[in-house]
Amino acid sequence: MLLNSALIVLQETLEVALLASILAALSNRLEYRMTWMLFGLSGGLVPALLYAMNLELISGWFDYTGQEVVNASLQSSIAVILFLLPWTFFRQHHVHSDQGSNEIRRNRLFGIFAAMSLILAIGREGSEVFVYLDGFLQQGDKIKTVLVGGGIGFSIGISVGFLLYYSLVGLSRKWGIAAAVLLLALFAGNMLSQSSVQLIQADWLPSTAPLWDTSGVVSENSVSGQLLYALIGYEANPSLIQMIAYLAGVILVLLAAVFAKFRSTRSSLRK
């Protein structure tokens, strides 16, 4: 019971912790203020609670596939936001004194996107934790064990987030930003891949045979499998649609970053 609750809460915390730490490292390297983090983390609790409280109603939508549709929408929205994010910061390298107001605007836009992605991620993951805890609140005696386990899982998730944050911030500015953008691209791929799985589960997308099966090498059930799942969307037996969705997410965010960087370099050369 203790171990299981730790694992469940860890699973849900990990994804949000990784997203938050990558965004925080990026924000740090770009020398932006971190106020968005406060809005993102606290703001996410609202949709998480609303989703958890109305889960039964939402599940009933679309002939009992409402949950999948809502999850897929949340995840796809995160991917879209991550695609838009590079456009907000890649001109930052060439700031001149007369661009001060422009800089503040970009800073604010980055913050809005970062906070929004966190709010959506917490909305989905947090709701599952709330539903899980609520189930044990009704069972009286077990809730203490579950809360302790959940606390352990939560702490491990947060620690992994800090570890990633300090690893990224420890890199040189250039490499730190590059690594963070790459991780965001992988995260976007993960979101689109998960979103396609939800739509397959709801029968909105056709189900196809798995492309391969690596569960013998890294099981999704294992700790490394869970970590890889949260970080790069590891799946032991992905289907073709899932793979296409994953690659589309990764490539689109990377292209957005390269293109935004290219444009910023060109516009600064023209000046």
Partner 1 sequence: MRPCIRLIPGVLALLLPFSLLSATPVVEIEIRDHLFLPSEIVIPADTKIKLLIKNLDPTPEEFESYELNREKVISGKSNAVIFIGPLPPGEYPFFGEFHPKTAQGRILVQ
Query: Where on the chain is the footprint of partner 1 (CB under 8 A)?
Result: 4, 8, 55-56, 59-60, 63-65, 67-68, 128, 131-132, 134-136, 138-139, 197, 200-207, 209-210, 215, 219-221, 235-239
Residue 252 CB, nearest distance to partner 1 (Å)? 18
- Residue nearer to partner 1 on the CB measure, 32 or 136: 136
The residues with which 239 forms a beta bridge, in sequence order, are 210
With helix as H, strand as E and coil as C, how does 62-117 read?
A: HHHCHHHHHHHHHHHHHHHHHHHHHHHHCCHHHCCHHHHHHHHHHHHHHHHHHHHH
- Residue nearer to partner 1 on the CB measure, 1 or 258: 1
Cα dist from 95 to 72, 89, 112, 114, 270, whole Å = 38, 11, 21, 21, 14
Cα dist from 156 to 150, 162, 180, 224, 266, whole Å = 10, 10, 21, 14, 44
Give the number of other CB atoms < 10 A from CB of residue 178: 15
Residue 169 CB, nearest distance to partner 1 (Å)? 33
Residue 203 CB, nearest distance to partner 1 (Å)? 4
- Residue nearer to partner 1 on the CB measure, 131 or 169: 131
Residue 135 CB, nearest distance to partner 1 (Å)? 4
- Residue nearer to partner 1 on the CB measure, 165 or 229: 229
Whether the CB-CB separation of 202 and 224 falls below 8 Å is answered with no
The residue behind tokens 């917490």 is: 122
- Residue nearer to partner 1 on the CB measure, 167 or 207: 207
Whether the CB-CB separation of 125 and 23 falls below 8 Å is answered with no
Residue 119 CB, nearest distance to partner 1 (Å)? 20
